[in-house]
Amino acid sequence: MSQARAFGVAAGLDPEVAAPLAARCEQLGYSAMFSNDHPGAKGLETLAVFARDTSEIDLGVGVIAIDRQDPTEIAGDIERLNLDRERLWLGVGAGFSKKPLTAMREALPNLREALPGVRLVLAAMGPKMCEFAGAEWDGVFFNWMTPGFAAQARERVEAGASGAGRETPRVMGYVRTAVGDDAAERLVKEESFYRDLHDGYRNHFERLGEPEGTVGVAAADSSGAQQGLDEFEALDLVVVRGLASAKLDSMSAVAEAAAPGA
């Protein structure tokens, strides 16, 4: 599968920004719009705003923590928001679960039952979770990875798929991207928050062994952004997570700089 690009934002982005931004990204050739999900705003509600001014691109949430929202609640939100299941990539993760792999194994059949027709994507970092994603899920979602680490993680996904006798599911993931004079500072600020969010992230960044402010793309211009994003060859779908002020012109500038074929 050839590499494609999506554009991602934080849930709760002002609809007056989110709707025209999605329309612009569709024009630029992005294949999907993604939103995260957090306690202050539901990603599915942001996807509903994206859907207003677009007709063809996919809509993805990356990711809903299964310890905060159960499958019944997620299904209810999809119905309430009238989201097209055929356009939807639903990313889910273990959140703050003490036994994340067990939690996701137990969640999958319930998600399948509650969400027929929805493509289910597993948030994965460690090798066991990656193998599980490859064996049983419709996609796998990476977060905070270098190109080299993503390539290693993809190998575990492929191993899981091979062991289950199936094709490798779609491999996607966020690549935090900042463009402009303050790009480096924006990436450091975003990364520092996640490095100490919980044990899962702390352990992950320790495995990465990379200095702060280097896990993502910080570029002065479009040329640098394109070069950095192209290095993520292990991803079938690079989700450009724009690091910019929550204004239409700022977000659009990052989207234009990082657009496929720009």
The CATH code belonging to domain 4-258 is: 3.20.20.30
Indicate whether 121 pLDDT > 70: yes
Predicted confidence at residue 39, as pLDDT, reads 94
pTM: 0.96
Task: Give the model confidence (pLDDT) of 29-86 as tens digits.
Answer: 999 999 999 999 999 999 999 999 999 999 999 999 999 999 999 999 999 999 999 9
Structure tokens at 122: 């597993």
Compute the Cα dihedral for 124, 127, 132, 134 and give only its sign: positive
The Cα 42–Cα 13 span in angstroms is: 10
3-state DSSP assignment of residue 239: strand
For the segment 137-147, what is each residue's pLDDT rounded down to a tens digit?
A: 999 999 999 99
Mean model confidence pLDDT for the chain = 96
Residues 100-114 have a mean pLDDT of 97
In this model, does residue 1 exceed pLDDT 80? no
* Predicted confidence (pLDDT) per residue in 194-226, tens digit: 998 888 889 999 999 999 999 999 999 999 999
| pLDDT tier at 3, thresholds 50, 70, 90 | confident
Residues 6+ apart with CB under 8 A from 140: 121, 122, 123, 124, 130, 133, 134, 157, 169, 170, 171, 172
In b/e form, how buried is each residue of 175-202, taking b as 16+ CB within 10 angstroms?
Answer: bbbbbbeebeebbbebbeebbeeeebbe
Could you give phi then psi for residue 57, rounded to 5 degrees? -70, 155
**Can you tell me the distance from the alpha carbon of 213 to that of 143, in angstroms, rounded to the nearest whole number?**
15
SS3 assignment for 122-171 = EECCCHHHHHHHHHHCCEEEECCCCHHHHHHHHHHHHHHHHHCCCCCCEE
Task: Match 């599911």 to its residue by tokens.
Answer: 169
